[in-house]
Amino acid sequence: MKQRFFRLLADLRFAIFILLLISFCSIIGTIIEQDQTIELYKKTYPLTKPIFGFLSWDKIIFFGFDHVYQTWWFLFLIFLFGCSLTICSFLQQLPSVNIARRCQFFRTPSPFYKLKISTILNSFYFNKILARIKRKHYSIFQQRNMIYCYKGLTGRIAPIVVHFSMILILIGTIVGALFGFKAQEIIPKTESFHIQNILNTGPSAFIPKTSARINDFWISYTKTKTISQFYSDLSILNQHGNEIERKTISVNYPLIFKDIYYYQTDWNLIGLRFQLVNNQVIEYPLINIFGSQEKVWLTWLDNKENLQEGIIILISNLEGYCSIYNNFGQFLGNLEINENGNFLQSMTFLEPISSTGLQIKTDPGISLIYSGFLFLMISSLISYITYSQIWIIYQNKQIFIGGSTNRALFDFELEFLEFIK
């Protein structure tokens, strides 16, 4: 019963079936938004209009489709697939390599007639053929009048390396799902923060108590006034508030500290800072009425004598100016940083108050995943090594010679012709 069970796990058809299930679940995780609020799922997948006729938000939450890659059944499928690869390696791949290492002599001429490449020569050419085979780096074994030669045994271990690399990738995936976390923080410039807004976390993940500070934030623009890149000057602080690590991060260039990645993801404007005639500094909050897709913010400054009158201040970038409109929407002019304007009252525009969006994540299994892909590339190179075999029998003043190969049949035919020509 145990042998049947292990043979079932090692069966190629079973492994392909499990792999298809994993692929199907991954497709579900790609179609359905992951790690979102329940309100978003209620709005996107209402009970009245389920997708595919049956999949509504309640079933999505029940089956865990909102966090597919961390569900117990997805991790179980990965574990089952890893077991199948491991057992297949021990029951099939390793024995096949051991068989390939053995000297497989042909003791009679009859097996030569089953080979696709074989011929019969006069015994005069025996020594010349062996010399040519040796020059082609074949390993030669002799037992009385029987010769067995092979080369490219390294190519036979390519499937084992493939299985090993896939097992590493699967282990890395499970480790990342169990011990990793991802957080999103929006922090005003010059402010310190802790990791608090956790988007998703593994059941065994540890959230560090590390604090950090945003020293500065700025944006570079192209000649057409589109955003080229945005940057955050980020410092990691110890428990006493002292700086222990500092780096200017940008999109695709994170800060890495103790296997925690700090990515630059977004930015926002939260207010405008002005200075009045009496040197009093005041701040006005900004609001984005167009949603997150449009980077346009505005605020309202009313007239203290008449609350129905005032000015609208609009800003859409960090190039150092804001635009002023009256309450009828008429453009009054631009106000640059450190420029004094007299609209409702005399005031100097000091700076926009910006905030930066950071994604903070850790994935302890990422090194295993990268190692798995490295071995997968190595196995692809190894698989190009051709495993070739040649058999020779010297009998009745005749040489029976034949060969086979697992790939590159045309090249092997040319090589075989060089031996016997």
- Condensed to tens digits (0 to 9), the pLDDT of residues 87-96 reads 888 888 888 8
Split at pLDDT 50, 70, 90, the class of 255 is very high
The total number of residues written for the chain in this structure: 421
Cβ 390 vs Cβ 151: under 8 Å:
no
The pLDDT of residue 305: 67
| Residue-level pLDDT at 361 | 92
3-state secondary structure labels for all residues of 353-371: EEEEEEEEEECCCHHHHHH
pLDDT digits (tens, 9 = 90+) for 318-337: 888 899 998 888 888 888 99
What tokens were used for 17? 């079936």
How far apart are the C-alpha atoms of 223 and 242, rounded to whole Å? 39
CA distance 122 to 125: 6
CB-based contact 78:170 (threshold 8 Å): yes
Instruction: Retrieve residue 412's tokens.
Output: 């092997």
Q: CA-CA distance, 264 to 216, in Å (whole number)?
A: 13
**Cα–Cα nearest to 350, from 273, 270, 269:** 273
C-beta of residue 356 within 8 angstroms of C-beta of residue 264: yes
Measured CA to CA, the distance from residue 356 to residue 214 in angstroms comes to 8
Cβ 202 vs Cβ 219: under 8 Å: no
Contact between residue 249 and residue 234 where contact means Cβ atoms under 8 Å apart: yes
Of all residues in the chain, the percent with pLDDT exceeding 90 is: 30
How far is the first Cα of the chain from the last one, in angstroms, to the nearest whole number?
55
Nearest to 153 by CA among 373, 405, 415, 410: 405
Q: What is the pLDDT of residues 142-187, one digit of tens each?
A: 988 899 999 988 888 888 899 999 999 999 988 988 898 999 999 9
Residue 222's pLDDT band (cuts 50, 70, 90): confident
Residue entry with tokens 């410092």: 235
Token pair listed for 22: 């994993």
- Over range 367-372, report the average pLDDT: 93
Q: DSSP 3-state assignment of 225?
A: coil
pLDDT score, position 256? 93
Q: Which amino acid is at 272?
A: L
How far is residue 420's CA from residue 414's CA, in Å, rounded to a whole number?
Answer: 10
Looking at residue 316, its pLDDT comes to: 86
How far is the C-alpha of 395 from the C-alpha of 198, rounded, in Å?
A: 78
Task: Give the up-direction half-sphere exposure of residue 314: CA atoms within 13 A in the CB hemisphere.
Answer: 16
Side chain identity at residue 355, one-letter code: S
Please give the Cα distance from 333 to 361 (Å, whole number).
44
| pLDDT tens digits for range 340-361 | 888 877 889 898 988 999 999 9
Residue 102: pLDDT band (50, 70, 90) is: confident
pTM here?
0.70
Domain 103-152+386-420 matching CATH 3.90.1150.10: the answer reads no
Any bridge partners for residue 117, and if so which? 403
CA atoms within 13 A on the CB side of 380: 7
pLDDT > 70: what percent of the chain? 98
Residue 47 has pLDDT above 90, yes or no: no
Query: What pLDDT was estimated at residue 279?
Result: 85
**Domain-wise residue ranges, the chain:** 2-91, 103-152+386-420, 178-267+357-365, 269-355
Q: Do residues 314 and 298 touch, judged by C-beta distance below 8 A? A: yes
Helices assigned H by DSSP within 146-254: 158-179
So what's the pLDDT on residue 237? 92
Instruction: Kindly tell me if the per-residue pLDDT of 307 is higher than 70.
Output: no
Q: What is the pLDDT of residues 273-293, one digit of tens each?
A: 988 888 888 888 998 877 656
pLDDT digits (tens, 9 = 90+) for 110-150: 999 889 899 988 777 788 888 999 999 999 999 888 999 99
SS3 420: helix
